[in-house]
Structure 1
Amino acid sequence: MDITRLDPDDAAGCASAVELQIATHAVDCPAALLSTPTGYAADLRYGWDGDPGRAFLARDDSGAVIGLVTVFAPTYDNTHLAWLDVQVHPEHRGRGVGSELVRYGEQVARELDRTSIGISSWDLPKADAFAKRHGFEPKAVEVNRRQDITNLDWTTVQKLYDEAVLASADYELLRIIGALPDEMLAGMVAVTASINDAPRDDLDIEDDVFTPERLRAYEAARRGHNQTMYRVIARHRQTGELAGHSVVTVERERPHIAEQNDTAVSRDHRGHRLGALTKTAMLLWLREAEPALTQLDTWNAESNNHMIGINEQLNYVIVARSIEYQKSL
């Protein structure tokens, strides 16, 4: 088996990686949202916020792609940690390919001076057994939910929005497409950092560190992915403080697909239903701005009961559960 790093400029390699993912998810999680080859290349070039991972393709003697391992080693924070994603073509499973890819990924992590390593997999018995066989312990559960925009009860959305407006009379909403104005950047750093209050369960991770530069890199990465970014921001009327936001991106290559990037409320402004306010205001905006939109995906820790409660009121349904494992190197 030959393992080589995949370059984002390698269009054929990126297409092969996506073909592999389609084959693996047809067995493991048919409803999962996957990238197109163009989107996958953007992931390798820009990452989520200018901090991309490294992908390595495994080929057999005939040159056919049979496996893929991605190593993400954060540089903004959590520099002790690396995350692996391992995928093996269904026709080549049970032959040691996955184990070899785990060993390869661990070696890359060691070369990057990482002391802890994590791996995520769909909540499947074979995946669980594979992770534990390689010394990983389950630490957290993430849940992918999807909203069917075409069958959304807009009467309910409007009702929830109206109720949230009454509870948040001291706040106003701002709509922003794309990059933030410079004068809002510092305030949005604080709002974005509120995500650190989300449940971590048993994961050995540190707080995410946000800076103006990182937020600008995130915006640049969304442009690099050819996505339109919508922000609904709650601002305190009296002080002008930014209190919370909801961020959704819509693909231009596939304008029927959107993803919830973030919903967060600053600690000092909680208790005013700002999460429900910004999420419902976002839906009402997208109904006007993106008529082709049919689905909106979001991820939450399974233990994040507050946000899940809001999502369930908005008719999100579970697509799949993902288990996050971790071990020390």
Structure 2
Amino acid sequence: MSTLQITIAERELPENVDDTSESARLFREYVDLRNAISSEQTGGADDFSATYRESLGQAKGQTSERQHRLLAIHEGHVIGIGAVDVSLHELQAPAYADVGVHEGFRSRGVAAALLAEVDRLLHEEGRSATQTWVVHPPAPGPTRTAATGWGVVPADTPSVRFLERAGFALEQVERMSSLRLGAESPAMFERMRDTAAEKADGYSVRTWSGRTPDDELESLAQLHARMSTDVPAGALEVEPEQWDAKRLADYEQNALEHMQRQLLHAVAYDAHGAPVAFTLLSLGAGREVAFQEDTLVHADHRGHRLGALVKAANLLQLLEKHPERTRVTTWNAEENRHMLDVNEQLGFEAIGFEGAWQRREAAA
């Protein structure tokens, strides 16, 4: 196929998603294409789609990253999208980058043009290492094994060929798992919670929804910081994150107010009242799915079933406060066998795999 005539432009944020401005029209097309690509990668599921208002709110409320969003425009319409995110807190951390192209315009130079602009922005931002996470649908043929030795993705697919030509290496594979909620769920989660509590002598658990109480922010922020150092990362470059009460409060405000999410927390405390484990559920408005996000047990307190305890307690809170939710989706590194065991005991089943790809030097 011939190369298309396209224009690469950085997305402008409209005042609101419903106005008649050109920026609003292109913003809606950007969101539509992003959602379509996500649905294609996940077998037609719309669980990972975002509404126009959620997308605009997230972009306007972002305080932890500088986000660049790119549009590939052909004959006035968005046919490709790109992203570059750089942390405003960890100034040496790898950047996140991504490109995607409408299925009707692939193999015509659009992704390459987007990647060239991504590389220009990375150079401008002074970031060398780049990471991206890509959902890989099942496909026949050979597979590519992650550098960790755990998990594979199909090797002979357009996305893998593009990533490897661009200098990316598959560092890690994450398992996407789903839990169906049903009539048997309350009793199952109660048994899991009670069994875990027997092993967690001297610990207590507390749940709440919405914002973290002010008097908990600082201590919980320190647990959030450990997500960057204590979870399996394979050979992915990681800069230890610095969290404080304000950063955690800003993160929750963006989720609750700008992205229109509900947050459900479960936290375990030691005998001195210090938080030592937590888990978080995030719920988008008007959906049946909930997302199991960060879960962490402090390294000094492992071996007491605290991960199972907080997860079961939070799932019970979900059933009580949001009975309209029918399933929960989560992600875990394939080598994180302990947490996968916990999820499998709760009833999670694998539904897909996501590759964590890394390029250590941006193209010149």
Q: What is the TM-score with the length of structure 1 in the denominator? A: 0.92
- CA change 1:52–1:248 in 2 (3 A) is farther
Selected match of 1:230 from 254, 258, 264: 264
Q: Gaps (5+ residues) in structure 2?
A: 1-5, 15-22, 137-153
What is the total number of aligned residue pairs between the two structures? 325
1:8 and 1:42 in contact (8 A); partners too: no
User: How far apart, CA to CA, are the structure 2 residues paired with 1:27 and 1:287?
Assistant: 30
2:53 maps to 38
Match of 2:143 in 1: none
Matched ranges for 1:171-250 at <5 A: 171-195=203-227, 196-223=229-256, 224-236=258-270, 238-250=271-283
Q: Please give the alpha-carbon distance, in whole angstroms, between the structure 1 residues aligned to 2:73 and 2:214.
A: 47
Provide, for residues 113-142 of structure 1, a one-character-per-residue CA deviation record: whole Å limited to 9, x for no partner: 111122332225221111011111111212
Shift of residue 77 of structure 1? 1.4
Aligned residue in 2 for 1:5? 10
Query: 1:91: how far off?
Result: 0.3
2:166 to 126, 134, 143: 134
Say which SS state the counterpart of residue 234 (structure 1) adopts: strand
Shift of 1:151: 6.6
Q: Does 1:119 align with 2:132?
A: yes
Contact 1:194 1:267 (C-alpha < 8 Å) held by counterparts = no
Q: CA 1:270–1:35 in structure 2 vs 1: closer, same or farther (change >3 Å)? A: same
CA contact (8 A) 2:92 2:239 kept: no
Task: Provide the rounded CA distance (Å) in 2 between the counterparts of 1:14 and 1:158.
Answer: 45
Q: CA deviation at 1:173?
A: 1.6
Q: Secondary structure at the match of 1:230?
A: strand
Q: Look up the match of 1:293.
A: 325
Partner Cα distance (2:161, 2:317) in 1: 44
Aligned match for 1:317, one of 349, 352, 358? 349
Task: Letter of the 1:3 partner, please give it.
Answer: I
Q: Which is further off, 9-18 or 292-301?
A: 9-18
Matched, 1:99 2:112: yes
The aligned counterpart of 2:76 is 63
Return the alpha-carbon distance in structure 2 between the equivalents of residues 305 and 65 of structure 1.
Answer: 41
Could you tell me which amino acid in structure 2 is paired with residue 57 of structure 1?
L
Which 5+ residue runs of structure 1 have no aligned equivalent? none
Residue 69 of structure 2 aligns to a residue whose secondary structure is strand
Q: Kindly tell me: are residues 310 and 80 of structure 1, through their superposed partners in 2, closer, same or farther at Cα, counting changes over 3 Å?
A: closer
Answer whether contact 2:186 2:319 (CA < 8 A) is retained: no
Q: Is the 8 A contact 1:121 1:322 kept in 2?
A: yes
Residues 23 and 251 (structure 1), Cα distance of their counterparts in 2 relative to 1, 3 Å cut: closer
Identical columns (%) = 26
What code does the residue aligned with 1:74 have? S
User: Pairwise CA RMSD of aligned residues?
Assistant: 1.9
Distance 1:89 1:151 in 2: 40
Amino acid at match of 1:174: R
Give the drift of 1:157.
1.9
Question: Is 1:51–2:65 an aligned residue pair?
Answer: yes
1:205–1:139 distance in 2 versus 1, CA, 3 Å? same
Cα distance in 2 for residues equivalent to 1:27 and 1:183: 43
The CA distance in 1 between the partners of 2:184 and 2:96, in whole Å, is 35
- Please state how far the C-alpha of 1:245 moved relative to its aligned partner: 1.1
- Structure 1 CA distance for aligned equivalents of residues 255 and 223 of structure 2: 19
Q: Do structure 1's residue 72 and structure 2's residue 85 form an aligned pair? A: yes
Measured in 2, the distance between the counterparts of 1:152 and 1:297 equals 18
Q: What is the deviation of 1:111?
A: 0.5
**Structure 1 CA distance, aligned partners of 2:259 and 2:317?**
22
Q: Tell me, in whole angstroms, the C-alpha distance in 2 between the residues paired with 1:122 and 1:114.
A: 24
Amino acid at match of 2:261: Q
